[in-house]
Structure 1
């Protein structure tokens, strides 16, 4: 068996790397499910505000309908080697009721203000409850870096 050349990171390094990616990246895969219609997955732009992920979607989209019925969601950054998976519950804000700081930060990041559109939009906020991060098989053990909404200081093998 050949080595993958991956140097295993500790929990603190994984957390730091994950937070850097959340601040820098643009797209996230959003997985939702409807109790009767089943799963749905779509990429959306996102903003990390330091404690939550903010996304925006059409107020009548499948994603909007699903999170209103079933707020549990899973988010995934779009890199299959440097995996970041986030689980949490979605909180919905119609475009006229979104906190101003979140809407302004979203607009600043993307140069687009959904509140100015003719069609209604829904802002979706997800506070992570569980975060998993790993690079390849050597990092599968200890991949949970947030559990129950609390960042882990150390993994069991750090």
Structure 2
């Protein structure tokens, strides 16, 4: 499937419209038991407002807005909510979608759930430690996995290699 910049921008606009119209779901924390937990008030105090909306209410940042999309140094991408290591920089690639993309994750770091919001069926990706929404996984990525973990930059913190 070929993605043009126009298609990506339209998709981002539709996602924003869906969130504005209330198509978002309840916070992920309400949907499961995770090792790292905070109350909703504690999450709001810990995170910047945009990161809170993405991590705790499954919002999506606009494409091409995250500086992590262009991050190319060696290192590790961590969950911005609980700091669990999620992705190795060596498994990041430029998918052309406008979001940081990876072809694999650190074993045990990611969980998935079915996402039927916005009138489509997708696989949502969340941190296995705190349940924080990261993005979605698609089957159009590079080998060896063939997967594209399309992740919100607001959900991540990058730690360069020493």
Task: Give the TM-score normalised by the residue count of structure 2.
Answer: 0.30
Q: Structure 1 length as normaliser, TM-score?
A: 0.31
Where is the strand percentage greater, Structure 1 or Structure 2?
1
Structure showing greater radius of gyration is: 1
- Relative to its length, the structure with more helix (as a share) is 2
